[in-house]
Amino acid sequence: MATKVDHVIEEALALSADERAKVAAKLLASLPSKAAPTAPRRLLDLAGRGVGVWGEDSTATLERMRDEWR
């Protein structure tokens, strides 16, 4: 039995990479903020976390998004 979340994810996967990126950004922005971690994190600890979020060509995706903002 599929849950509501499963249904939403299935619909999201049918979107283009640009549309999924916008949905992901809005969902992340809607989350309540958490307290800052006690120990500072290194930027390199986050390497690879966004693989695939911006599509196969992240530069082209970002350029298209910038064009929309202009």
Question: Is residue 53 within 8 Å of 12, Cβ to Cβ?
Answer: no
What's the mean pLDDT in 49-69?
A: 87
Residue 11's domain comprises 1-28+58-70
In a domain, 38, yes or no: no
In a domain, 22, yes or no: yes
Nearest-angstrom CA–CA distance, 20 and 11: 10
Q: Using DSSP, state whether 46 is helix, strand or coil.
A: helix
Work out how many domains the chain is built from and give that number. 1
Nearest-angstrom CA–CA distance, 33 and 36: 9
What is the tens place of the pLDDT at every residue in 1-45? 778 988 988 999 999 999 999 999 998 888 887 766 677 778 888
Quickly state the pLDDT bin for 58 (edges 50, 70, 90): confident
In a domain, 69, yes or no: yes
